Structure 1
Amino acid sequence: MSAIIEVRQVSKAFGSLNVINDCSIQVEQGSITGLIGPNGAGKSTLFNLIAGTFAPDSGSIWYQGQDITSIPANQLFHRGLLRTFQIAQEFSHMSALENLMMVPPQKGESLFNTWFRPSDVRAQEAEVREKALEVIEFVGLAHVKNELAGNLSGGQKKLLELGRTMMVDAKVVLLDEIAAGVNRTLLQDLIRNIQRLNTERGYTFLVIEHDMDMIAQLCDPVIVLAQGSVMMEGTIQEIQEDKSVIEAYFGNDAH
């Protein structure tokens, strides 16, 4: 495998608070890589740097062999680098199906096309709807496709957010605490869908997660972040047995 994402000696501070400190990681193409660490380790900030939400103070970020350090999030989205959020960001007053249909750019957004190319607009809308129906079936939400997204459970919203990544040509998906607020049954659905997207469609995942059972099921390798830097990388078993990792999580009194 080759690295699809490379973070090279990146640092980021907010005022006097250094959040990311000379951090370097690689995410191999086709992997499901875990990113763990104690609260305040800088995991979400690192995600935001990779996704283009923030620019690093120093260092560089590379995607598919290209320097993307100064490229904003909306442009990276169209290059197939997407992220989800710990709190799902659905359009609550639209149906689940409509939420999926909102993701791809559409010809109907242009007034010119609406007036002078209505047949093209209708044809594309039909294609987008067909794809949305396929996606909502894939993630197991077909039974609530017409339900307002705001009425879905926390787990269903996470499944919907995963489905939104399928509405574009996703290559890398950054999953931020996708297990948070999800019941165990729907969590297994999420895990299966992530594994299927990885094996059947070639998605690469970088996963921030506190649920170690989920990390153990999904991720290899696992990267441990502490105080904004990489502490170690390895299998989940190696990490769970490492004394320095245990101390970082639980302090000097850990046994």
Structure 2
Amino acid sequence: MGSIIEVRQVNKAFGALQVINNCSIEVAKGSITGLIGPNGAGKSTLFNLIAGTFAPDTGQIIFDGEDITAIPSDQLFHRGLLRTFQIAQEFSHMTALENLMMVPPQAGESLLNTWLRPARVQQEEAQVRQKAMDVIEFIGLKHVRNELAGNLSGGQKKLLELGRTMMVDARVVLLDEIAAGVNRTLLQDLIRNIQRLNQELGYTFLVIEHDMDMIAQLCDPVIVLAQGSVMVQGTIEEIQQNEAVIEAYFGNDAH
């Protein structure tokens, strides 16, 4: 299927601290790729580089054949490359449904359009509302669509965040520790929704996660990052049996 994300020999330092060290990875189009590694391996920094939060010192980042190394995150967002925490936190005093409706730009956001094209504004609002209804049903939150988002559980908020990616027709979603703070029941809902978005809508995912059960259920391949560069890549079974990975995670406690 080819690669949709390519990181080519990227380096990033903060002062004297070299965080990403000549790192190269590829994410296949249509895959759910896991990115794991011990604390301090550079996973979140690599996500920030791919998402355009900041630029690498050297190297290239390619998105679907285009060099995006110097393109900021807001432009990448509108091209369909999203990082989950990059999307605004929930508006706690708005309903879950209203939170979804806030994501796509609408004609009504222009005062001139409100005055001169009221029919167009009403039509767009109706279309956005219907899409939000479809999304909230897809992610299994229809029963809380009118609940204030601030009252949702941590897991429901994560599902809502996943739903926001559907409001802008994402192509690649970078998921950073989405399982954190989510109970096991809602975690399975999250996993099912990620799989459905991948299989039914063709989303590509790159997933940072410490929950190895989630990685095992979702991800193939899995990339292991250590000291800012790729240590090994393979299936979760190959990763779990790799002595170098065990040593990196557990050190002397591994034996």
Q: Which residue of structure 1 aligns with residue 11 of structure 2?
A: 11
Name which of structure 1's ranges 11-20 and 24-33 shifts more when overlaid on structure 2: 11-20
Cα separation, 1, equivalents of 2:35 and 2:167 = 25
Pair 87,184 (structure 1): closer, same or farther in 2 beyond 3 Å: farther
Q: C-alpha distance in 1, partners of 2:183/2:71?
A: 36
Post-superposition shift, 1:90?
1.2
Q: Map 1:242-253 onto structure 2 (within 5 A).
A: 242-253=242-253
Change (3 A) 1:133 1:87: closer
Aligned length: 255
SS of equivalent residue, structure 2 residue 85: coil
Contact conserved, 1:94 with 1:149, CA < 8 A, in 2? Answer: yes
Give secondary structure in 2 for the equivalent of 1:166.
Answer: helix
| C-alpha deviation, 1:253, in angstroms | 3.3
What is the root-mean-square deviation of aligned Cα atoms in Å?
1.2
Q: Cα deviations across residues 140-195 of structure 1 (Å, max 9, x unaligned)? A: 00111111111110000000000000001211000000100000000000000000
Q: Which residue of 2 aligns with 1:140?
A: 140
Q: Could you tell me how far 1:116 is from its partner in structure 2?
A: 0.2
Q: Could you tell me whether the CA contact under 8 Å between 1:88 and 1:157 is conserved in 2?
A: no
Corresponding position of 2:129: 129
Contact 2:84 2:174 in 1 (8 A): yes
Q: How high is the TM-score relative to the length of structure 1?
A: 0.98
Give TM-score scaled by structure 2 length.
0.98
Residues 1-255 of structure 1: pairs in structure 2 closer than 5 A = 1-85=1-85, 89-255=89-255
SS of alignment partner, residue 105 of structure 1:
coil
Secondary structure, counterpart of 2:5 in structure 1: strand
The gaps in structure 2 that reach 5 residues or longer are none
Cα distance in 1 for partners of 2:150, 2:138 equals: 20
Q: What is the alpha-carbon distance in structure 2 between the residues aligned to residue 86 and residue 177 of structure 1?
A: 13
Over the matched positions of the two proteins, sequence identity in percent amounts to 83
1:33–1:207 contact (8 Å) kept in structure 2: yes
- Inter-partner Cα distance in structure 2 for 1:152 and 1:45: 29
The amino acid across from 1:46 in the alignment is L
For residues 86 and 237 of structure 2, the distance between their equivalents in structure 1, rounded to whole angstroms, comes to 26
Distance (whole Å) between structure 2 residues aligned to residue 185 and residue 218 of structure 1 = 16
CA contact (8 A) 1:177 1:209 kept: yes
Distance 1:77 1:250 in 2: 37
Cα distance between partner residues in 1 of 2:98 and 2:58: 40
Kept after mapping to 2: 8 A contact 1:88/1:158: no
Decide whether the 8 Å contact of 2:178 with 2:209 is kept in 1: yes
CA contact (8 A) 2:87 2:161 kept: no
| 2: CA distance, partners of 1:197 / 1:235 | 21
Structure 1 runs not aligned, ≥5 long: none
- Tell me the distance in 2 between the aligned counterparts of 1:94 and 1:106: 18
Matched residue SS, 2:94: coil
Q: Deviations over 1:183-213 (max 9, x none)?
A: 0000000000000000000000000000000
